[in-house]
A and B are shown apart, each in its own frame.
Chain A
Amino acid sequence: MLNKQLLIVGAGPAGLAAAIEAKKNGVKDVLLVDLNMKAGGQLMKQIHKFFGSKEHRAGVRGIDTGAAMLKEAEELGVEVWLKSTCVGFFDDKVACIEKGMEDGSKKIIYLKAETIIIATGGQENVVRFKGWTTPGVMGAGAAQTMINVNKVQPGQNIVMLGTGNVGLIVSYQLMQAGCNVVCLVEAAPGIGGYGVHASKISRAGVPIYTKHTIKEVKGNGPNGRVSEVTIVEIDPKFNPIEGTEKTFAADTVTLAAGLKPVSELVKLQDIELVFNGPFGGWVPTHNEKMETTCPGIYVAGDTTGVEEANTALEEGKVAGVSAAEALGAISAAEADKQRAEIWARLDGLRMGPFGEKRAIAKKEVMAKFPGVRA
């Protein structure tokens, strides 16, 4: 059986940052596994510039941050298995990986890791309405992947459900890719995301219907594809108000209704989980080292609660430093020093009207860690 000092599952911002930090701190044997064709996770489709301060990579496009990290990981000699899925764990940190081979086939590989970091990210929430499974209804992130990574439009006339930052940014990027955004639909009385993103949509003349939801999608297009979308106004208790329906011709509906943590691998371990609404569901409790209740198994990024790329990246760094400490590559004092610096940046990312809720959620999740943090 193969042996690895550190196995990292998920090569998004958290996993990549963890791998880089572990390598920089002297861990020799780092394996990064990801089921996608390319590393970088969802950073590779973020073509807009990020907000914040300079130390949080503000003004830099996600795609450029991703590319820089990929280069650094390669220069440091991080071993990366792409098109490879970690499908399970046995006791004693034995992982079962379906490895993508050169010739396109898959091979089952068992390996024993001394430490593991689980950074499997998040998954988009679905919204159920009549016709929600019709081909042409998809996640906003899926549409974003198509235009920004695969460079093909998911459709021509698109109705976006949700006006959080994902809904707003993806709507604008769909327009940049030449699609027609018919309208945005939002159940809440106000727009969910930043005003600066909403203004771009409004300036383009695209209507945003607040206090509305999708009532029905009809699939009378070619091969049963989406052909029309009916929206309806809702009352303060979210009940549809009859007679307020509006119907649009559209071939695509994109859902931007938040994300939930991908935590299947975490659940396969004997790791204590807590339910946290703002973080999107069940998440593993962890300490300041990002270590779970299973010693030697760490978590980072959206798996620990849905936030955003920069937070995931910093959490990944913490996990990478902690793994290096556990493997004896650096001293406890050195690890503490590095972690303190990263936590200061994390605290900075969890401030302001959008960040504060996440700061509270993180505190709640960590408070459940046995014996640590009151």
Chain B
Amino acid sequence: MCMRVTDHVILGQDLNPKMIEITVDGQKVPAKEGEPILAALLAQDIMVNRYTVKRNEPRGLFCGIGQCTDCAMIVNGKANVRTCITPAVEGMIVETQYGYGGANDVK
């Protein structure tokens, strides 16, 4: 389980962050307002963000700074959104991406 770090020896306490709700593959998921979508997913133990084009292999968090694209998902209908550098917004609809995330992809 990927727990949130709420009390840190150097960074201090994370008291009462503003929580919002996003939808991930049809399920309601809580998120801290403005945190990367990826972080909200990780806090729910959701580790797979997409499946690869050719072999349909799962991929998840790898670089965490917008370089590698392993965390790309479909956000509000738009494919290939790097969830590690995209903030969570109330009501956002996030979907696991298969292949390129388009209609003609292998599922």
Question: When the two chains form their complex, are residues B3 and A152 in contact, meaning their CB atoms are under 8 A apart?
Answer: yes
Taking CB atoms, residues of chain A closer than 8 Å to B89 are: 104
- Given A35-B85, A225-B47, A262-B67, the answer on whether A177 and B5 have CB atoms closer than 8 Å is yes
Is A124's CB under 8 angstroms from B63's CB?
Answer: yes
Checking A104, A151, A176 against B9 with a beta-carbon cut-off of 8 angstroms, the contacting residue is A176
* A202 sits at the interface (CB 8 A): no
Segment 114-157 of A: residues with Cβ below 8 Å from B:
123-124, 133-139, 141-143, 145-148, 150-156
Give me the interface of B with A, judged by CB distance under 8 Å: 1-6, 8-11, 14, 34-36, 38-39, 42-43, 45-48, 57-68, 84-87, 89
Interface residue total, chain A, C-beta cutoff 8 A: 40
A47 located at the interface, meaning its Cβ lies under 8 Å from any Cβ of chain B in the complex = yes
B9, B35, B47, B66: the one contacting A150 at CB < 8 Å is B35
Max chain A Cβ within 10 angstroms of own Cβ: one of B36, B39, B47: B47
CA distance A147 to B11 in the complex (A): 10
Q: List 27 A-B contacts (CB under 8 A).
A: A37-B87, A83-B86, A104-B89, A138-B60, A138-B62, A138-B63, A138-B64, A139-B62, A141-B63, A142-B65, A145-B65, A146-B39, A150-B35, A150-B42, A151-B6, A151-B39, A152-B39, A153-B3, A153-B42, A154-B2, A176-B9, A177-B5, A177-B8, A178-B5, A222-B45, A224-B58, A225-B60
Considering the complex, give the chain A residue whose CB is closest to the CB of B65.
Answer: A145
Partner of A142, one of B2, B10, B35, B64: B64
Which residue in B36, B60, B65 is a CB contact (below 8 Å) of A136? B60
- Chain B residues with CB under 8 Å of A230's CB are none
In the assembled complex, the Cα of A272 lies from the Cα of B46 at a distance in Å of 44
Of the residues A123, A133, A150, A154, contact of B63 by C-beta under 8 Å: A123
Once the chains are docked, how many angstroms separate the CA of A222 from the CA of B47?
Answer: 9
Cβ of A244 < 8 Å from any Cβ of B? Answer: no
